[in-house]
Amino acid sequence: MSSDDVVIVGGGNLGLWTAYHLAQRGVRRILVCERYWAGYGATVRSAGIMRQQGGSETAVKLGKWSRELYRKLGQELGLDSGFREVGYYVVASSPMEKAVFQRLVELRTAHGVPNEWLDPEDLARRLPYVDWSRFAGATYTPNDGYVEPAIIVRNIVMAVRAAGVELLEQCEVQGIEPLTSGYRVETSRGVFETERVIDAGGPRGARRIAEFVGIDVPVAASRHMVISFPERPPDMPANFPMMFVLAAGFYLRPDEQGVLLGFSNPLEQPDPSDRYLLEFDWDYFEKLKPEWEATIPSLAGKAIGRAWTGSIDYTPDQLPIIDEPRFGFYVLAAGGHGIMWGPALGMKMAELVTEERLSDLDPEEVRLRRFTEGRMATDAIHLPFPH
């Protein structure tokens, strides 16, 4: 048996960034237990979209801080940060969405995120390969972009190891028992005593880990799908800006010389299988295809190079959980946005652990009790998750 100050369950983007920030704050004995290998869960399967164009104050701040943290870590390591700044258009399909989006431009700008509203005529000049007659306009942030999941995992693993964090892979947490002071954590690689436990188990772990100490964490997993066209159409420039058609629930970004396209079915139900690798829903693909082919006609008929699915984490309001529901037991979950918010969520969790407070965020918006007390906030910009 060995003892630690903090045991983090889950070596995904959230657990690893939490370990990094705790180490930066001087916490000395930090253990990350990962049942497979670092990044194995939702993190490496993600599309990497990094958006500061949130639909609430919390979302905007988390996106802005995370973008800065990815870039800073790349500089610290002297390596590629993995961040690709290509700009992002979030597209409104109706006058009602237009009104919401225009209000969000003010919110984002007030929080230091460059953001503008563009009408279809302006957009047609900028992105002539898109049929803008279908849309009411879009918001645009030039310094949004995407990250390469493989690079961000490499970087954060290197950083936590350099900071003295112990990362145990192939280490499954199988039980957590509260002690008079602290916790006893049973794993497939031994038993650890610790003052604090952080549940960062993601879509396939967060709920079960919290059950060990009798807490209900409403994090579920559902299918999210991504396809990649190896070649982009000739009318789309290299490093074309990303695009999210919110109402249809699909987004696009560059992928090597081609185009990556991600989408979710709004009627998708939580998946009970405990697998990350799920069947690809070709029926829904066929149903949605006319939407993206009408949006970018030159994509029609393009061959697909890769198609994959993954279990995406979601919370009932698509917002994160940063909380200490039991003394010394913490919960961190991303609400399906753990790439665009992960570094900042780790930063805030480390603040909560070391200072027992959350600054510069409304703590009530990220607490667990909002789900039982019916005080959920809303983020207007998110994928069509199941309800």
Ligand X SMILES: Cc1cc2nc3c(=O)[nH]c(=O)nc-3n(C[C@H](O)[C@H](O)[C@H](O)COP(=O)(O)OP(=O)(O)OC[C@H]3O[C@@H](n4cnc5c(N)ncnc54)[C@H](O)[C@@H]3O)c2cc1C
* Residues near ligand X (CB under 6 A): 9-15, 33-36, 40-43, 45-49, 172-173, 200-205, 209, 224, 226, 262, 310-313, 334, 336-340
In angstroms, give the least distance from the CB of 2 to ligand X: 17
In angstroms, give the least distance from the CB of 234 to ligand X: 26
For residues 333 and 339, what is the distance between their CA atoms, to the nearest angstrom?
Answer: 11
In the complex with ligand X, which residue's Cβ is closer, 132 or 330? Answer: 330
Position with the least CB separation from ligand X:
12
CA angle 356, 351, 3 (to 5 degrees): 80
233's CB contacts (< 8 A; 6+ apart) are 129, 259, 296, 298, 299, 302
In the complex with ligand X, which residue's Cβ is closer, 118 or 278? Answer: 278
Which SS3 state, helix, strand or coil, does residue 195 take? strand
In the complex with ligand X, which residue's Cβ is closer, 236 or 322? Answer: 322
In angstroms, give the least distance from the CB of 271 to ligand X: 11
In the complex with ligand X, which residue's Cβ is closer, 49 or 136? Answer: 49
353's CB contacts (< 8 A; 6+ apart) are 6, 22, 27, 196, 198, 324, 330
For residues 30 and 262, what is the distance between their CA atoms, to the nearest angstrom?
Answer: 35
Q: What is the SS3 string spanning 301-324?
A: CCCCCEEEEEEEEECCCCCCEEEE
Residue reference for tokens 């019916």: 374
In angstroms, give the least distance from the CB of 233 to ligand X: 22
In angstroms, give the least distance from the CB of 33 to ligand X: 5
Cα–Cα separations (whole angstroms), residue 340 to 46, 75, 211, 272, 373:
10, 19, 27, 25, 27
* β-strand partners of 223: 311
In angstroms, give the least distance from the CB of 200 to ligand X: 5
In the complex with ligand X, which residue's Cβ is closer, 41 or 145? Answer: 41
In the complex with ligand X, which residue's Cβ is closer, 27 or 209? Answer: 209
